[in-house]
Amino acid sequence: MRLMQGVVGAVFVCAGVCMVGCIPPSTSCPTSVYLDHADNGTTRTVTVCGMVRIELIGNPGSTGYEWKVTSSNLPYLQFAGSTFTQGSGGMPGTPGFYDFQFSAIRAGTTTITIGLFAPGETTTPEETFSVTINVTGSSSGAPRTVELEDGESGQTRTTLVGGTVIAELLGGSTGTGPSWQLTSNGSPVLSVTGTAFNSSDPNDPAAPGFYIWRFTAAQAGQADLEFGLFDPSDTTTPLDTFTATIVVE
């Protein structure tokens, strides 16, 4: 059974106006965006410290279908929680509204994905809501230390001038096995300040471990880091790659 979808309210960018059915705009941060089902597949902009609130129709009491956030990583937004409000005065069995809230914590672009799951289903949603969010403005709250590790390839992260970027990659060895090599160092925005390899067994040269690179954010700008996992017999074509874009403010 498919949950009937509908358009509720409208999209407001803290306009100070609210129609029936919408989420009231915040008076403390005039940089928030309010989205509903009609905004699926769109791109919206919010400034740092603002809120992204998404309102979707649901009826978990009667259908068992539930909306759940499925985005695995939101480096520029922080999930602030969700609520469900029953419609028609709270009578059981009537549709209501899910309200998902995200805080914009630093400048960058990310995608929020929310899935509609059937009862007992946890992996494959029957329907998805997706919106791209551009977070702009001063991100003075950006961390001075950015840590990158396996599973975060392709991400964009933000730090400040004078900050530190640490990349830690699992696998490879300093002996006969494949090893990670830095193939693009992000110069001149980033400066390499150290490298290390921590073996899982110091007595075994072929034992896998962690490759660690440390960079200093030398100047404002954008830097592209790239690492390649190379077999000792082939120094030109990597077996695997890891990339990251670092924005220095």
Q: What is the mean pLDDT of residues 77-89?
A: 81
Residues 92 and 149 in one domain: no
Residue 93 has a CB neighbour count (10 Å cut-off) of: 10
Q: Which residue type, as a one-letter code, is found at position 223?
A: A
Residue 174 has a CB neighbour count (10 Å cut-off) of: 13
Span of 58-72, 73-87, 146-160 with lowest mean pLDDT: 73-87
Residues 86 and 179 in one domain: no
For residue 241, is it within any domain? yes
Instruction: Please identify, among 136, 158, 178, the residue that sits at the C-terminal boundary of a domain.
Output: 136
Q: What is the mean pLDDT of residues 183-201?
A: 86
Residues 40 and 114 in one domain: yes
Q: What is the mean pLDDT of residues 20-26?
A: 34
Q: Look at residue 215 and tell me whether its pLDDT is greater than 90.
A: yes
Dig out the tokens for 233 from the structure: 């017999």
174 band by pLDDT with thresholds 50, 70 and 90: low
Q: What is the mean pLDDT of residues 178-189?
A: 89
Span of 129-138, 170-179, 210-219, 235-244 with lowest mean pLDDT: 170-179
Q: Which residue type, as a one-letter code, is found at position 122?
A: T
Residue 100 has a CB neighbour count (10 Å cut-off) of: 21
Q: Look at residue 246 and tell me whether its pLDDT is greater than 50.
A: yes
- List b or e across 115-153, with b for residues whose CB sees 16 or more CB atoms inside 10 angstroms: bbbbeeeeeebebebebebebeeebeebeeebebeeeee
The sign of the torsion formed by the CA atoms of 6, 71, 138, 220 equals negative
Q: Look at residue 35 and tell me whether its pLDDT is greater than 80.
A: yes
53 band by pLDDT with thresholds 50, 70 and 90: very high
45 or 3: which leads in pLDDT: 45
112 or 17: which leads in pLDDT: 112
Residues 184 and 104 in one domain: no
Domains identified in the chain, total number: 2
Q: Domain range spanning residue 110?
A: 33-136
Element (H, E) at 60: helix 60-63
Res 36: pLDDT: 92
128 band by pLDDT with thresholds 50, 70 and 90: very high
15 band by pLDDT with thresholds 50, 70 and 90: very low
108 or 10: which leads in pLDDT: 108
Span of 83-87, 105-109, 138-142, 239-243 with lowest mean pLDDT: 138-142
Q: What is the mean pLDDT of residues 91-109?
A: 82
Block residue for tokens 């289903």: 121
Cis previous bond, 188, omega within 30: yes
Q: Look at residue 29 and tell me whether its pLDDT is greater than 60.
A: no
Res 125: pLDDT: 94
For residue 8, is it within any domain? no
* Residues 6 or more apart whose Cβ sits within 8 Å of residue 244: 148, 152, 153, 154, 155, 156, 157, 167, 224, 225
For residue 187, is it within any domain? yes
Q: What is the mean pLDDT of residues 64-72?
A: 88
Here the CATH number for the domain that contains residue 101 is: 2.60.40.2020
Q: Provide φ and ψ at 90, rounded to 5°.
A: 85, 15
For residue 219, is it within any domain? yes
Average pLDDT, the chain: 79
Q: Look at residue 140 and tell me whether its pLDDT is greater than 50.
A: yes
User: Rounded to an integer, what distance in angstroms lies between the CA atom of residue 195 and that of residue 218?
Assistant: 17
Q: Look at residue 6 and tell me whether its pLDDT is greater than 60.
A: no
